[in-house]
Copies of this chain bind each other. A is one copy, B any other.
Amino acid sequence: MRTLNVALGDRGYPIHIGRGLLGDPSLILPFLRTPRVAIVTNDVVGPLYLDRLQAGLRDLGVQVHAVTLPDGEAHKDWPTLNLIFDMLLAERCERSTTLLALGGGVVGDMTGFAAATYQRGVPFIQIPTTLLSQVDSSVGGKTAINHPLGKNMIGAFYQPKLVLADTGTLDTLPARELAAGLAEVIKYGLIRDPVFFEWLESNIERLVAREPEALAFAIERSCANKAEVVAADETEQGERALLNLGHTFGHAIETGMGYGAWLHGEAVAAGTMMAAELSCRLGWIGTDDVARIEALHRRAGLPVHGPRLGAARYLELMAHDKKVEAGRLRLILLRGIGRAVIHADATHTAIAAAIEARCA
């Protein structure tokens, strides 16, 4: 087991990464305020891991409640969130009850938001079971649900007490979801870790083949990057926005296609190519850089073009982005591989041209 720490003072917490951690609930015990937990999972992950986790906790004397949500981004909404509140209230869970998020990014984001708001805040623990959630969404305290007019529009910054990433759960992950997770892994290389990007260029096939050692390294390196950024800028006043490379374009794809049609990581991959395209057109990176980025995404099994929504529709959807300030779209662009910047001066014409060039 490897352990990283997110340095946020009295809101700091450890990230444990390793194979088989789900089978060792004594790792969880020290982080419970009282021996009572409510597990939130979904109908895909639950049948695989819920029984084992429940039994292990009960063996340690912990009272366990559970609720199973329908799987998928399409259910990251209020009615589904309310299933968590219904369960917590029906079971009379208290302010000292700890919520456990057992699942991917959607389960983690929703459980975190439920924890942030149930009785104005209860403790929670992330147990991510997808690559995407292990390398990105389980770390950093961003929680949210979607609104029909925009993704992650309703949420809170609320840190977990512990992140427990069992790399063994990736054995059961569909190939498409593994690839979607790799989009966020590649992102860390692109925005701030050029050495890691080169490592990925040499090793991407090992990750696609799920070689345990390669996966463990990539997850730890990704989490280390994320933990550093979050510690420096918890509530996204500055540097943290760089983690959104490809996300403003990507959210437009997700919202425009209807939640769930594209996986988040797939949309981020296509969005990252749009950001790279625009960076190239601004003269900041070369066509050779764009080719390297595209090749790595392709080898990871990711899309490198967005759907043909029309540039005008993209821009309309992007205008709802949380990074819009004083009406100006703040995009994350590249000054080089491993060097992302925030840019608010791109014209709509230039953005539209980059989008069109990257739709297929």
**A interface residues, Cβ below 8 angstroms from B:** 34, 78, 82, 85-86, 89-90, 92, 94-96, 113, 116-121, 142-144, 147, 149-150, 152-157, 235, 319-320, 322, 324-326
For residue A120, give the distance in angstroms from its CB to the closest CB of chain B. Answer: 5
- A288 CA to B320 CA in the complex, in Å? 62
Chain B residues, Cβ within 8 Å of A156: 116-117, 120-121, 156
Give which listed residue, B34, B113, B235, B326, contacts A34 with CB less than 8 A: B326
Q: Report the copy number of this chain in the oligomer.
A: 2
- Whether the pair A89, B120 counts as a contact (CB closer than 8 A) is no
- A35 CA to B190 CA in the complex, in Å? 36
- Whether the pair B78, A117 counts as a contact (CB closer than 8 A) is no
- A155 CA to B29 CA in the complex, in Å? 27
Give which listed residue, B85, B157, B319, B322, contacts A153 with CB less than 8 A: B85
- A320 CA to B91 CA in the complex, in Å? 9
Chain B residues, Cβ within 8 Å of A155: 117, 119-120
- Whether the pair A92, B153 counts as a contact (CB closer than 8 A) is no
Chain B residues, Cβ within 8 Å of A149: 86, 89-90
Q: Which among A120, A154, A326 has the greatest number of chain B C-beta atoms within 10 A? A: A120
- Whether the pair B153, A96 counts as a contact (CB closer than 8 A) is no
**Known A78-B82, A117-B117, A235-B121; contact A89-B322, beta-carbon cutoff 8 A:** no
For residue A342, give the distance in angstroms from its CB to the closest CB of chain B. Answer: 14
- Whether the pair B85, A147 counts as a contact (CB closer than 8 A) is yes
A–B pairs, 26, beta carbons within 8 Å: A78-B82, A85-B147, A85-B153, A85-B154, A86-B149, A89-B147, A89-B153, A89-B320, A90-B149, A92-B324, A94-B325, A95-B325, A96-B325, A96-B326, A116-B156, A117-B117, A117-B156, A118-B154, A119-B155, A120-B143, A120-B156, A120-B157, A120-B235, A120-B322, A121-B156, A121-B157
Q: A85-B153, A94-B325 are in contact. List 17 more A-B contacts (CB 8 A).
A: A85-B147, A86-B149, A89-B150, A89-B153, A92-B324, A94-B324, A96-B325, A96-B326, A113-B117, A117-B156, A118-B153, A119-B155, A120-B152, A120-B157, A120-B322, A121-B235, A156-B156
For residue A327, give the distance in angstroms from its CB to the closest CB of chain B. Answer: 8
Looking across the interface, which residue of chain B has its beta carbon closest to that of A116? B156
